[in-house]
A and B are shown apart, each in its own frame.
Chain A
């Protein structure tokens, strides 16, 4: 084809060139040969000037070229002529056929219009025909439609008439769902025509529905039904426009009432806890209350679960209920632990409560019950720990006060010893028990406890600290030593009652303080270090809560204070005795001494009491024997001094010598080592007795110094003191000091005497012997009579 197309193209191109040169007004546009020939040469250009071309040709070319040119040109012209001829022929044919076609067209168009009119007419007639058919069928169609509607209506009426029967059937088959559907379907009609045409029908169906509602309600309230069924019933009731909220309220009220049943009665709590424990080892036949309680709570939580599903919008209320139950549990727990409760019981109840909480928490996780109860449990547990300490303290003070120390017989017998031992035991046993209890608390694995372990340890540590502090305070109160921290009222009461407090009790308290300081606190410290260390360090930024060093210091101070207080109360008694002795007689007009005055008996009796009390409570001094020999050694020197002084004094009755005698006393005092009268009291029998005797003798000396004696008065004092010497030395460890003090009394008396003439030693001796015999006889009588 390509080979063919090429000559065709050539031909067509030439043709087109020709045509264009023919038609084109501007020869410059024609492309053929223009590029080769110049404007002069180009024969095809419009500006071609033949003459000029001729001239140029002639001038330029020779003849041969011109001839050639001529030939060429002639041939070209011939070609052109044939081409033109061809062109004209070809196109002429086409013109002719075109003219023919136009002619034929003209003749064809003439018939067309008539046909068109015909067509229009036909269509018109068709339309009119169809309209006719339509109008003729219209009436019938209307009728058919009317009939159809009537039929529908009739079907509905039929349904309504059937409704009661249908409902009854549904009731019978318990297909409440269908029944409700039917009823709600019929509702609009019944609403409109219920008062007129379908009155009976409506009444009947309403009655049926009432039955249905009732049935549904009973279904809803009955716990035996499945939750699903009950939920459905609730939904149906809601559809029936029955006020469900009131129902809900009623139901929840019922639930609330059931709470009371769930409450753990403090009285029963103990039983509950007991049973709970025993249930582990023996499944006894009688249903235990714990089991019952558990079932009840389980039921409660089930009910809650149900209601939650039935009434999704009642969650808040249920939360409240669950919280109320938890709160109630912890409240009753608080009530319960107000009384004394063993840790086991406490933990038992705690476990029960925790189980309840877990049960409810499963149902209502959103109620944050575990958080709530954790908080409550913290509070309760803290209270419990505090209460344990207060119980312990109560125990200790009870033990102290249980025995009638107030009675006089306390001195006789071993009452003080018994009390001391009992209270020691109470303290020791109490702390051991409390530690055991705390161990139990810490070992407990109920959810809450694990979280609170740190806290508990903190409480225990702090608890011990506070416990010992308050124990010390209580000791001081018990001893009747009014402490400045008490308010006005309290101080007043204590001040009054302090007379009634037996001195023995104070002594017991003092020794108990020592015991606590030396035994109990180290033990507690050890125990805390081994099992209760750590604790919540954050809660106690001020260092550890339990500071044994401080407590030891406190109790050390307390024991010393109490011992001092004991000695004070004892000496006070003697002081009163001495005061009476020295106030009553007129010493300046005293009669000759006939016998040893009876105050000596009373004084010795008091000392005897002190000795007995002390012997029961305080330990014996370990260095007693040693000390005695020691003091014996010094005794010889001092007594020899005082004896010489004494004898000197006796012989110097005249007043001139008294002055030098005073100097002598001063000098003697200067050179002699000062006898330490007021030494520190130790916790030994001897030390306390000695201190008491020393203080009493010092008081005696002071009383003597305030009086003025005549000869007989002085002699009386001399006699009394002489009599005292032997028994005092027996009871007291520091004989030197006693000797010194007794001498001081006599010196004081002689200084205050107007006429110092001592009794002759034989008379002195005789009177003392008489007294001894008399007291012996008295004792014998006493033993005989008893």
Chain B
């Protein structure tokens, strides 16, 4: 199902929403993705980019009991990952381990290490400790946020602390601050909220409605990028969180996900329901100059900020992940189950 563009395609059997970079795999550029099918046997695919970078190989195929709404790979163990799944009527979250010799087994089964079963509502996501070997996890449902301690050898997870965001906020997703491991951002109905994990209390918020996706800039402290339904992408400086530092027009329809490049500062990837992935360049340093310029010129600049738009998709794109091993490579996943790997190398000289 390869398209006409430079991207490398891979088709999943069913519809899918989530894809994750396998950060702990230092030998290969790998991604994990899970299908979203209400009625069929769902699968988790472990994909590996061939060494030449020209092919996407299915390294492992595992069946998953339920449709997968969220999937995150463990940053320190490439065989461990978390999923958020739904039976249709209820939600659950679990930590899984890929069996060791999965290549030799006929139909390898995923090993469930732990269930994060303290939730009652609709779980949105599971976040891993952002870097290094640490057994802390965060899971969020619409009202609550839980901090877990995972013991993979004992195959158990314990709730360390929890906080409720309140009925009204209905959280929808979040991100763990890579610069300050005690700070977590969560997107809600009308705002982006920040928790301090030490006290497990809400400390701050950005009033902004309909935020879909949020990501910290891993190269620059205090910079947060949000994706919103109608109003595009905003770059925030958390020290001055009242007005966005920068505004990017986003997508024709909703902007669903946004990801900052782990290596190149200011390189932002966004996925939208208009079946497109846009590559932006929004360096915070250049923002200061731009704001001082006349509005007309800055709009022209803003147009130029769009480095490329990948439009070779048939359906809305929900899944998006940069590779941490090869930071110029990203994987995107459209709802029709198509994984596309693209390289942004041709655009790097322009930043």
Residue numbers of A with Cβ under 8 A of B are 469, 472-473, 476, 482-485, 488, 491-492, 495, 554, 557, 561, 568, 571-572, 575, 579, 583, 588, 655, 658-659, 662, 665-666, 669-670, 674, 677-678, 695, 698-699, 702, 705, 708, 751-754
- What is the minimal beta-carbon distance from A359 to any residue of chain B, in angstroms? 47
Is there a chain A Cβ closer than 8 Å to B290's Cβ? yes
Given contacts A484-B290, A491-B243, A588-B88, contact A575 B14 (CB under 8 A): no
Which residues 220-255 of B have a CB within 8 angstroms of A?
A: 229-231, 240, 242-243, 246-247, 252-254
B295 near A753: Cβ-Cβ < 8 Å:
no
Given contacts A568-B230, A678-B274, contact A554 B296 (CB under 8 A): yes
Q: Once the chains are docked, how many angstroms separate the CA of A754 from the CA of B89?
A: 9
- The 3 lowest CB-CB distance pairs between A and B, nearest first, are A655-B39, A678-B252, A485-B295
A488 near B243: Cβ-Cβ < 8 Å:
yes
A473 near B243: Cβ-Cβ < 8 Å:
no
9 other A-B residue contacts (CB within 8 Å) besides A659-B14, A754-B88: A488-B242, A561-B299, A568-B231, A575-B229, A658-B40, A669-B314, A705-B316, A751-B15, A752-B38
Bin chain B's interface residue count.
35 or more
Is there a chain A Cβ closer than 8 Å to B298's Cβ? yes
Q: Which residues of B contact A476 (CB under 8 A)?
A: 295
Name B's interface SS. Answer: loop
B242 near A492: Cβ-Cβ < 8 Å:
yes
- Name the residue of chain B whose CB is nearest to the CB of A553: B296
A575 near B210: Cβ-Cβ < 8 Å:
yes
A698 near B273: Cβ-Cβ < 8 Å:
yes
Q: List 10 A-B contacts (CB under 8 A).
A: A485-B293, A575-B230, A655-B40, A659-B40, A662-B15, A666-B336, A674-B314, A698-B253, A708-B89, A754-B39
Q: Once the chains are docked, how many angstroms separate the CA of A695 from the CA of B254?
A: 9
B240 near A659: Cβ-Cβ < 8 Å:
no
Cβ-defined partner of B89 (8 Å) among A472, A473, A588? A588
Q: Once the chains are docked, how many angstroms separate the CA of A469 from the CA of B316?
A: 38
Is there a chain A Cβ closer than 8 Å to B86's Cβ? yes
- What is the minimal beta-carbon distance from B91 to any residue of chain A, in angstroms? 10
Interface string of B279-322 (1 = CB under 8 A from A): 00000000000110111101100100000000000101000000
- What is the minimal beta-carbon distance from A672 to any residue of chain B, in angstroms? 11
Q: Which residues of A contact B231 (CB under 8 A)?
A: 568
Q: Which residues of A contact B38 (CB under 8 A)?
A: 708, 751-754
B290 near A658: Cβ-Cβ < 8 Å:
no
Is there a chain A Cβ closer than 8 Å to B85's Cβ? no
Which residues 300-351 of B have a CB within 8 angstroms of A?
A: 302, 314, 316, 335-336
Q: Which residues of B contact A568 (CB under 8 A)?
A: 230-231
Q: Which residues of A contact B205 (CB under 8 A)?
A: none
- Name the residue of chain A whose CB is nearest to the CB of B87: A708
B291 near A699: Cβ-Cβ < 8 Å:
no
Q: Which residues of A contact B298 (CB under 8 A)?
A: 483-485
Q: Which residues of A contact B293 (CB under 8 A)?
A: 485
Which residues 146-171 of B have a CB within 8 angstroms of A?
A: 170
Is there a chain A Cβ closer than 8 Å to B13's Cβ? yes
B247 near A699: Cβ-Cβ < 8 Å:
no
Q: Which residues of A contact B314 (CB under 8 A)?
A: 666, 669-670, 674
Q: Which residues of A contact B273 (CB under 8 A)?
A: 698, 702
Cβ-defined partner of B295 (8 Å) among A473, A488, A678, A754? A473
Q: Once the chains are docked, how many angstroms separate the CA of A472 from the CA of B295?
A: 10
Query: Which one of B39, B88, B210 has the greatest number of beta carbons of chain A within 10 Å?
Result: B39
Given contacts A658-B40, A678-B274, contact A583 B88 (CB under 8 A): no
- What is the minimal beta-carbon distance from A504 to any residue of chain B, in angstroms? 18
Q: Which residues of B contact A495 (CB under 8 A)?
A: 243
- What is the minimal beta-carbon distance from B172 to any residue of chain A, in angstroms? 10
Q: Which residues of B contact A705 (CB under 8 A)?
A: 316, 335
Q: Which residues of A contact B14 (CB under 8 A)?
A: 659, 662
Q: Which residues of B contact A554 (CB under 8 A)?
A: 296
Q: Once the chains are docked, how many angstroms separate the CA of A655 from the CA of B242?
A: 50
Q: Once the chains are docked, how many angstroms separate the CA of A495 from the CA of B247?
A: 14
Q: Which residues of B contact A662 (CB under 8 A)?
A: 14-15
B86 near A708: Cβ-Cβ < 8 Å:
yes
Q: Which residues of B contact A655 (CB under 8 A)?
A: 39-40
A492 near B243: Cβ-Cβ < 8 Å:
yes
- Name the residue of chain A whose CB is nearest to the CB of B247: A484
- What is the minimal beta-carbon distance from B104 to any residue of chain A, in angstroms? 28
Q: Which residues of A contact B290 (CB under 8 A)?
A: 484
Q: Which residues of A contact B335 (CB under 8 A)?
A: 705
